[in-house]
Amino acid sequence: MTWVTKTLNSTLGRKLIMALTGLFLILFLTGHVSGNLLLFKGDGGQAFNMYAKFMTTNPAVKLLSYLTYISVIGHIIYSILLTRHNASARPVSYSTSKGGTNSSWNSRNMGILGTIILIFLVVHLQGFWAEMHWGEVPTISYDGENYKNLYLIVSEAFKQEWLVALYVAAMIFLGFHLSHGFSSAFQTLGLSHKKYSPAIEWIGRIYCVIVPATFASMPLYIYFSSL
Amino acid sequence: MKLTLKIWRQKNAADKGGFVTYVAEHVSKDMSFLEMLDVLNDQLTEKGEDPVHFDHDCREGICGMCSLYINGKPHGPLQTTTCQLHMRSFSDGETITIEPWRAKAFPVVKDLVVNRSAFDRIIQAGGYVSVNTGGVPDANEIPIPKTVADLAMDAAQCIGCGACVAACKNASAMLFTSAKVSQLALLPQGQVERKTRAEKMVAQMDAEGFGACTNTGACEAECPKGISITNIARMNREYFSAVVSSENM
């Protein structure tokens, strides 16, 4: 084994990959939520459709999207490796354990939260991302140029109560996942300092509420404005 | 006080083990938890039964030898060592569940006694200074800021009891290892072996089969010496900077 593989196979190395992929996914979420704010523009989806075309055709964005796919897959694979390793470290479990007295529920259940988010992700990608890439999306013309009308797909989809409920519920789970994951990633990277850690924790607490809440407001807005 | 004790009994490492229930009567609230077990063991011995085996040594809260997972928490309801836990922390008629530390790296020897030599091997891997540091130096001869010396002394308070491993949902030894890495990495005498120490101690910690850290903070909350998880962040920095810059392949 070279020093690189040895490091990445160590518990600290695996944690490093979890932290780096997690932080990249936090950056992705920030971009994703910002772009999707165009859904609120009230222009019949023109700005959103033009943005969707840019996001699927621009080469720089393509590179970022590949990094996102790698981060998602890496985050999942390493979480499985770590969870299996951690389970093997305690073959006989306690009959009574009061974890709630010394740590938060979400910090102890990141795997469960992550699995729920993964299930949501499959539904989400299948409904919009796969449709945009390979589906039969009707086109719309702005100033003589043709655009895939993703806004139509989105606004039709969110007329269904169950899908809106699923999205809102998934964002609550995402919020809990981020509420531990945000500051935890910095701790794993060793970025702990009495000058900066309070700010990191503070930003994390705001981020884990604002971003999922903004995401959740999109299907709610579309649903209620369609009534 | 009258108490019901649900105690883990296990003949040896190979035995499957299980809980046995005992009733402890006339327990004084001023007894320490270990004294309460001493009284129980006296009664068991008089009856010709095998006494409950548990670890203890100084009974002053400084050696780290006593363990016990009491009612779902290492060292019981208080953030202290079991020898400094008194029966006034419990109420009359209560059922108390007593289990050994649970970790693959801490195999049960008998009953509540576990083998914690995995910690010794982590120390042996690099938790020492092998350069000659000479005799007792004159005051202020070695320049070190008070704030840094304090951080090193905070880390050095770790008594290696293993409550961090016991409390962690992953049975991770990162709080222990990071305290031992930190106490030397912060001081001038620890600089010579700084990189090799971080690499070797982390490798040994993994080889012993401890879990990884999920940053739940349970270890810090249960540590009887209040070792901070900022030490874990320091160990991560030490380790990552060591592996990218050391001469060790």
What whole-number distance in Å separates Cα of residue B218 and Cα of residue B227? 11
| pLDDT at residue number B137 | 86
B243 touches chain A (CB under 8 A): yes
pLDDT digits (tens, 9 = 90+) for A48-98: 999 999 999 999 999 999 999 999 999 999 999 999 999 999 999 999 999
| pLDDT at residue number B132 | 85
Q: Which site among A78, A96, A177 would you substitute to test the B interface, given the most B Cβ atoms closer than 10 Å to its Cβ? A: A96
Q: Chain A, 172-191: which have a CB under 8 Å from a chain B CB?
A: 180, 183-184, 187-191
B201 touches chain A (CB under 8 A): no
The CA-based angle B42-B47-B51, given to 5 degrees, is: 50
- For residues B97, B102, B107, B113, the Cα torsion angle rounded to the nearest 10 degrees is -30
The domain ranges of chain A are 3-225
- Residue pair B212/A82 in contact by the 8 Å Cβ criterion: yes
Confidence band for A6, pLDDT divided at 50, 70 and 90 = very high
pLDDT digits (tens, 9 = 90+) for B164-202: 999 999 999 999 999 999 999 999 999 999 999 999 999
pLDDT digits (tens, 9 = 90+) for A17-51: 999 999 999 999 999 999 999 999 989 999 999 99
| pLDDT at residue number B118 | 98
Give the mean pLDDT of A214-227: 96
CATH code of the domain made up of A3-225: 1.20.1300.10
Q: Parallel, antiparallel, or unpaired for β B69-70 and B73-74?
A: antiparallel
What whole-number distance in Å separates Cα of residue A168 and Cα of residue A176? 13
Which of A95, A96, A187 lies nearest to residue B233, judging by beta carbons? A187
Give me the helix-helix angle, B174-185 and B230-245, nearest 10°: 70
| pLDDT at residue number B133 | 79
**Residue B201: closest CA among B135, B137, B120:** B120
Residue A1 has pLDDT above 80, yes or no: no
| pLDDT at residue number A201 | 97
**b/e A77-105 (16+ beta carbons within 10 angstroms → b):** ebbebbbebbeebbebebeebebeebbee
What residues of chain B lie within 8 A of the CB of A10, using their CB?
Answer: 202-203, 206, 239
What residues of chain A lie within 8 A of the CB of B203, using their CB?
Answer: 10
ipTM (interface predicted TM): 0.93
**How many angstroms separate the CA of residue A180 from the nearest CA in chain B?**
8
CATH code of the domain made up of B3-110: 3.10.20.30
**How many angstroms separate the CA of residue B199 from the nearest CA in chain A?**
9
The domain ranges of chain B are 3-110, 117-245
- Residue pair B74/B163 in contact by the 8 Å Cβ criterion: yes
| pLDDT at residue number B141 | 87
DSSP B104: T
- Residue pair B210/A89 in contact by the 8 Å Cβ criterion: yes
What whole-number distance in Å separates Cα of residue A206 and Cα of residue A192? 19
| pLDDT at residue number A21 | 98
**How many angstroms separate the CA of residue B216 from the nearest CA in chain A?**
5
- CA A61: distance to chain centroid? 17
Residue A183 has pLDDT above 90, yes or no: yes
Which of A85, A94, A103 lies nearest to residue B212, judging by beta carbons? A85
DSSP B239: H
> Token pair of B232, please?
């874990």
| pLDDT at residue number B140 | 86
What whole-number distance in Å separates Cα of residue B103 and Cα of residue B167? 10
pLDDT-above-90 percentage for chain A: 96
Which of B170, B172, B237 lies nearest to residue A190, judging by beta carbons? B237
**Closest A-chain CA to B164:** A102
Q: Chain A, 20-79: which have a CB under 8 Å from a chain B CB?
A: none
CATH code of the domain made up of B117-245: 1.10.1060.10
The CA-based angle A219-A222-A227, given to 5 degrees, is: 125
| pLDDT at residue number B62 | 95
Beta strand extents in chain B (DSSP E only): 3-9, 18-24, 69-70, 73-74, 95-99, 108-110, 113-114
- Spans of chain B below 70 pLDDT: none
Q: Which site among A16, A101, A102, A104 would you substitute to test the B interface, given the most B Cβ atoms closer than 10 Å to its Cβ? A: A102
